[in-house]
Amino acid sequence: LNLRNTEIKQLPIGLMEVKGSLNISRNPSINLNGYPKKVGGSFLCRSNNIFSPQGMPKEVGGGIYLESNKISSLYGLPDKVTGKLILYTNELKNLDGISKEISGNLELSGNNQLTSL
């Protein structure tokens, strides 16, 4: 489901699952609350103005791409990431709340305030 650069503010509350990937990148007014609980492919939420992943899908079958946001808290990430977890160019100060298991790469560059791992 590609909703990139559509200026959507929120997905319909009744949408419980996306079989493939979900791309909501470049929607600066997006609100993650009410998102589907499961995404079969990757979850792409790049270049928005989100401050945390709170409200994102709890189960993602591919990578999670949250780069170029304003994320300062990682609480709300799924416990397990089956692909990459991309968090570069955010406002992270620490990794509290990060997923317990990440199968792919973890990318953190550009988080200039990150002082502890």
Which pLDDT score, from 0 to 100, does residue 31 have? 85
Domain coordinates in residue numbering, the chain: 1-117
DSSP assignment of the chain equals -B-TTS------TT--EESS-EE--S-TT---TT--SEESS-EE--SS--S--TTS-SEESS-EE--SS-----TT--SEESS-EE--SS--S--TT--SEESS-EE-TT-TT----
| Per-residue pLDDT tens over the stretch 27-81 | 998 888 878 999 999 999 999 999 999 999 999 999 999 999 999 999 999 999 9
Q: What pLDDT shows up at residue 8?
A: 87
CB 75 within 8 A of CB 97: yes
